[in-house]
Amino acid sequence: MVMTYKNYVNGNWVASDSGKIFSSLNPADESIVGHFQASTRADVRHAIASASTAFSSWRDTPAPSRAKYLWKMRDLLIKNKERLACLIVLEMGKVIAEARGDVQEAIDVFEYMAGEGRRLFGNTTPSELKDKFAMTVRMPVGVVGLITPWNFPIAIPAWKSAAALICGNSIVWKPSSDTPLCAVEFAKLIDEAGFPKGVFNMVTGSGWEIGDEIVRHQMIRGISFTGSRETGEHILRNAGVKKIGLELGGKNAIIILEDADLDLAVDGVVWGAFGTTGQRCTSASRVIVHEKIKSLFEKKLLARVKNLKVGEGIHHDIGPLINLKAVEKSARYVQIGLDEGAKLLFGGKPLNVHGKGFFFQPTIFTDCKSEMRICQDEIFGPVLSIIPVKSFDEAIRVSNSVSYGLSSAIYTADIQKAFRAINKLEAGLTYVNSSTIGSECHLPFGGVKGTGNGMREAGIHGIDEFSEIKTVYFDYSGKLQKATIDD
């Protein structure tokens, strides 16, 4: 029996005013995992009003006291880790090891942000005048709107909500319509953790209706969005004067120089290109390899990829894509690559695993040129392009030739080239002798160029996204003093 789930607003589970529902599918077999509220703008406005009412008392709650709720949430995530991981496999399609990692990221970030309740640092600095004190303090933004994707259905909501909550903000959250059951279970844990009513609200439904209402509503003072560049540009055009954080994808490259440990590099490429079936913003969809070692690298890579098992996520190496559109997009880009003259080394077709499901072969193109669309566009599927180069400098130019700038990696034994790459690669993240995947919760995450608008999540910079800096001057001289005015 398929259950119907409700929105979480003001501490209660409520149905949408629309009376309509939509379904979420298991991408491995296309079975229905649940029915969810097809909410309206009126539902969002109700959630915003609840968050606005709750904000005053939540912001006035001392940050160390707010942290106690985050610690409780962290403990509940630990208790429910395996159950949530299995749910991610069911609804999103990740293999079980990656699904456990998804939940572990949420555990880590709630633990980290709970610790920030004892910090939330500002700064003190000398005044230029006598008997005057100068400092900065952090203030919450207000009611913030979180709009999250399906590929990390527990971790990314945790990144955003933990930082927003410890700073004293209240939340209206619109999760992806591809993983609403994961969102409902996350909200259930928020409820069990005892957060005050209205501090955290979740509304499911269409991005172009309820997401747009969150973006445009005047009582929403901050937006944090992870998703497509098209939607990010829509947010910038329509949000008005708000604090906005955008993370908009990547076209990430792994550089492999002629002195690299090839076995180690192959490990990184397989993980970067085909982990999460290529459905990460940090996935490695390009390999830039020195022509001297290209043939040997391809031989080693093919031997590994041919042994990867594709199927549902509990017992296989690669799971399904999220939906039929993702399969069609990967197939379309395979044809684009062939039309552009790239050589197909392996894969390139949808897979019929059990007669149903959204599976696609791990796919490798070689002899690619950097200007090809398969080397420029974010495909978000298991499609890898190999680009040969003649030198380190050419490798850097090719890596930087895309409009995105999220993650990057280089494999080399030359420490000088490694540090030159760190300096020259146009990316928010650079890994040396490791893949493009592997962010840790205490370090900032985000990119440059078309990847976003300068926002960073996680670490202290996650606090920056959800707080405002207030400058405070305290003059105890007992007379009018005029800064910057000659006496």
> Mind telling me the catalytic residues?
247, 281
- Three-state secondary structure string covering 326-380: HHHHHHHHHHHHHHHCCEEEECCCEECCCCCCCEECCEEEECCCCCCHHHCCCCC
Among 464, 290, 469, 468, which residue's Cα sits nearest to residue 387? 290
Alpha carbon distance 349, 330 (integer Å): 8
List Cβ neighbours of 395 (8 Å cut-off, separation of 6 or more): 255, 257, 288, 290, 389, 410
Give me 430's structure tokens: 């650079």
Q: Write the DSSP symbol of residue 211.
A: I
Give me 102's structure tokens: 């998804």
Asked if residue 224 lies in contact with residue 248, where contact means CB atoms within 8 angstroms, the answer is no
List Cβ neighbours of 181 (8 Å cut-off, separation of 6 or more): 5, 24, 33, 34, 36, 87, 90, 91
| Alpha helices for 28-117 (secondary structure H) | 41-60, 63-79, 81-91, 96-116
Alpha carbon distance 101, 81 (integer Å): 9
Q: Write the DSSP symbol of residue 209.
A: I
Among 86, 139, 152, 41, which residue's Cα sits nearest to residue 312? 86
Length of the chain: 487
Asked if residue 120 lies in contact with residue 67, where contact means CB atoms within 8 angstroms, the answer is no
Burial of 257 (C-beta count, 10 Å sphere; 0-12/13-18/19+) = buried
Among 222, 235, 192, which residue's Cα sits nearest to residue 463? 222
Amino acid letter at 65? S
Q: How many beta carbons lie within 10 A of that of residue 326, not counting itself?
A: 22
3-class DSSP state for residue 414? Answer: coil
